[in-house]
Amino acid sequence: MEPLWKLFYLLEPAPFTLVVTAVGVTFGSAFRALNYGKEMEKNHDLSETSITLDRSQALMIPVMSSVSLLLMFYLFTSVSQLLTVFTAVASVSSLFFFLSPYAAYLKSQFGLADPYVSRCCSKSFTRIQALLLLLCIGTVAAWLVSGHWVLNNLLGISICIAFVSHVRLPNIKICAMLLVCLFVYDIFWVFFSERFFGANVMVSVATQQASNPVHTVANSLSLPGLQMVTKKLELPVKIVFPRNLLGGEIPGGARDFMMLGLGDMAIPSMLLALVLCFDHRRSKDTVNLLDMHSSKGHKYIWYALPGYAIGLVTALAAGILTNSPQPALLYLVPSTLGPIVFISWIRKELAELWDGPLPNMNDKAHQIEFVGKGEGIVISPHVSGHLLGGTVWKITKDGEDVIYALDFNHRKEKHLNGINQSAFVRPAVLITDAYNALNNQPYRRQKDKEFTDTIKKTLRSDGNVLLPVDTAGRVMELVQILESCWTEENLNYPIFFLTYVASSTIDYVKSFLEWMSDAIAKSFEKTRENVFNLKRIRLLVNKSELDNAPDGPKVVLASMASLEAGFSHDIFVEWANDAKNLVLFTERAQFGSLARMLQADPPPKAVKVTISKRVPLVGDELIAYEEEQNRIRKEEALKASLIKEEESKAFHGADVNMSDPMIMDASNSHPLPGAVGPHGGGYRDMLIDGFTPSTSVAPMFPFYENNSEWDDFGEVINPDDYVIKDEDMDHGTMPVGGDVDGKLDEGSASLILDTRPSKVVSTELTVQVKCSLIYMDFEGRSDARSIKSILSHMAPLKLVLVHGTAEATEHLKQHCLKRVCPHVYAPQIEETIDVTSDLCAYKVQLSEKLMSNVLFKKLGDYEIAWVDSGAGKTENEMLSLQPLSTPPPPHESVLVGDLKMANFKQFLSDKGFQVEFAGGALRCGEYVTLRKVGDASHKGGGSGTQQIVIEGPLCEDYYKIREYLYSQFYLL
């Protein structure tokens, strides 16, 4: 044990620099991994996707690391040159990945021209990228020649950053498992390996120097100068610093260096990348390194990063005091993982971190690109916000979009997100509906409150509430509203969801949380509870269960919404005569249906309904039915035998039939209704039924040859011979109870097992309608006011209106002609219209001469530039843009960008200006006003040319605000 005063050695340049470098590399790797992941997600670059480790892969890392360590311990000398070559290749790739963002930043900052010059490995390389690749190769070559520790550290850092960016951990659970395993791994190989292998395996491998292949080549070519310069190499699997960092001595052996393995930086960096991603997801802020310190709330990254620094300093201190190598992960794992687990437990966010985020599939539009005849067409689905799985289709061809958007909803609901309006701007054609063009709705919270208040009022008046609903569509929203209301207010009135598929529907919906609203996803991440684990709503599949429920007021959601049939029809007939009851419609019914009649204003006092009931056949009807079925079976058997005989003659020839066996069709046996048997039914046919002799019957044992067809792969199989006939499926055994999982409720089982012949008996009944009838719009469609606003935002070139009444369609058409676009079509049923684009699109090739003089500027995820060129043709007759032969005239300055006045208001507020909206304009201070004016030639205010007018006297505020305004745009 060394004296404590030696801890002051930690303040010397070498250990201090090592700690600062390791902390910086760890944080930089995590931050780069976050940015890289968002960049790949934004660009949908599937070829660059990272690897997310699962549990088995994480557990294999310590195992494979141990195996590799042993192989290196015994075979390092033999494979050192191969390892050096492999490391050099990996270093070039990693260094290129590390430096690419900086090259892109410099290119955009200085407006450097960067044309594409070549393709390699299915990727296009620009001129700057090619130069960067040459720089990386030169750097690795310099390291091979000199073996300098600075170059070694640079390559090691780049490998660490590339590894953390491409290999990720999904959650803290997998991360903790990996860290604990590596914790044990590090302790064993540093402290206990000498007892088993006669030497400290970890230290031996870490301090060995690899053979230099350049030195080997110099020896073989007799190059004495290169032989003297080159020497054995420290592989960039660690960062090293000379102990006498500022001294004049040149370090000699490994003992002259302080070192830290890449794993001691890369593994904690994966944890930091995980919590950094969690912090960013919670804050929803733009990824900006400069803004991270000012974000509201304490982020986990600021607990993990100091913990890493403390653990590293502790490891160095332990090494100084014990004068022996220390396993860094022994100190880094508790100091890094511990604070995160403890703080998240205090904040009650450990469950969310432990299992990881729920993927939001609504943010991912899976594009379908066609090939062949459809080449160039791309179809993208987007969330419609109307139903779970409801879709708005975006079809792109030659830069033009066709949007098919029917039944969309812009509002966020309990279980669904609204439509993403920003994804649909200025399409060539928009096809939408006019279904709600005349209807306006209150705000969602107000509507939900009126809905629950109406139900509670009826229940407290000792009445029942019937909601006719669909089986698996909009009813999910109603279920969530009622479930949350009953939970918040702790109501005891029973709620029943009654459909034949209620149980299976909810079971399926539970597995689609990632396709639902952000609120549901966040709730699941926090509590790990599925919102469709219904505690207040009871699922029923048989009306007898409802009849057996205790008496008293209740709420029943029953199918079908039209009231024409199903459980809702039967319940309405029973409850309509009681004035205390309420039938609450949540969607407009189809024309001609009973629900539509009841939604009339005023509603009818009495309605005629048809009561249909299935009853079993008895007496003469049953006998007649059985005789008819026997006749049909005999005809089918005879027809089948004739067909088989004709097929046999055609295949074997007429003579072969003399030796054919008798043909028996077992499928012609049918169960006798009501008979008892092992499968729940008996058989009434005799044994000889189904034996149909062919043209002749062999008198003794028949013999026939197998004349099957054969090809190169064997006997030709006829797939029809293996198809299970429908009759076999109908009369075969079926497990009692079963949806897709083999489980059936009692009601469904009775329906399936009851196969007796039956008939439907219908009677008409006049029902006195004394119950209350109310309609509330929960269809999940945007209302008229919102539709008009959304259409103005989309600003299509051509608009097609379908699916609406004549009055609603005409009203929306006239509005759009005035406010949206000049080309609006409202076709009649089966009418064909031509909406071919008026624009002409051409494919042109950008010549290298033109691109070499183009100056690009960064605009978000894109780079833009002004181009003056003329059209020409290449050798293969393809159109090409060529530089002009004469200097082009100067063009007017163009400001490119999309200014949001609300965002600019906040920007000016941060700069100290008093700003407010007044009369559609932004008042800035006392004198200056900003007003956004659309181009008169562009209706709709979409993404066309716009003007921003600055009004006010020429004063100091005027020039400041104008300068701030210019900073929001890119000048071309």
Active site residues: 186, 264
d(CA 168, CA 273): 8
The beta strand positions in 494-625, using DSSP E, are 495-498, 537-540, 555-558, 582-585, 606-616
Q: How far apart are CA 56 and CA 956, in angstroms?
A: 65
**Cβ-Cβ contacts under 8 Å for 800 (sequence gap 6 or more):** 429, 430, 431, 432, 824, 825, 826, 827, 833, 835
SS3 794: helix
DSSP conformational letter for 23: H
Side-chain-side CA neighbours of residue 166 (13 Å): 13
Q: CA triplet 916, 918, 924: central angle to 5 degrees?
A: 40
DSSP-assigned letter for residue 215 = H
Interhelix angle 329-346/263-283, rounded to 10 degrees, is 10
Q: Is 433 helix (H, G, I), strand (E, B) or coil?
A: strand
The residues near 664 (Cβ < 8 Å, ≥ 6 apart) are 690, 691, 692
3-state secondary structure of 392: strand
Give the list of residues 6+ apart from residue 185 with CB closer than 8 angstroms, or none. 62, 65, 66, 329
824-825 and 798-802 beta bridge pairing:
parallel
* End-to-end alpha carbon distance in the chain: 69
User: Whole-angstrom Cα distance, residue 868 to residue 854?
Assistant: 9
Helix ranges (DSSP H) in 300-349: 301-322, 329-346
Of 923, 939, 943, nearest to 931 (Cα)? 923
CA distances from 902 to 356, 401, 910, 959 (A): 34, 28, 13, 20
354: nearest Cα among 147, 528, 225, 510: 528
- Widest Cα–Cα separation across the chain: 120
Structure tokens at 649: 């003659």
Distance between CA atoms of residues 50 and 52, nearest Å:
6
Question: Coil, strand or helix: which one is 819?
Answer: helix
- Measure the CA angle with vertex 196, ends 191 and 197; round to 5°: 95
How are beta strands 895-896 and 970-971 bridged, if at all?
antiparallel
The pair of structure tokens assigned to 963 is 């300068």
Query: Burial, 207: exposed, middle or buried (Cβ in 10 Å; 0-12, 13-18, 19+)?
Result: middle
User: Residue 416 — φ and ψ, nearest 5°?
Assistant: -140, 145
CB 961 within 8 A of CB 907: no
Separation CA 417–CA 912 (nearest Å)? 36
3-class secondary structure, 825: strand
**Residue 840 burial (10 A CB sphere; 0-12, 13-18, 19+):** exposed
800 C-beta neighbours (distance < 10 Å), count: 19
Sign of CA dihedral 800, 803, 804, 805: positive
C-beta separation of 124 from 193 below 8 A: no
CB proximity list for 859: less than 8 A, separation 6 or greater:
896, 897, 970
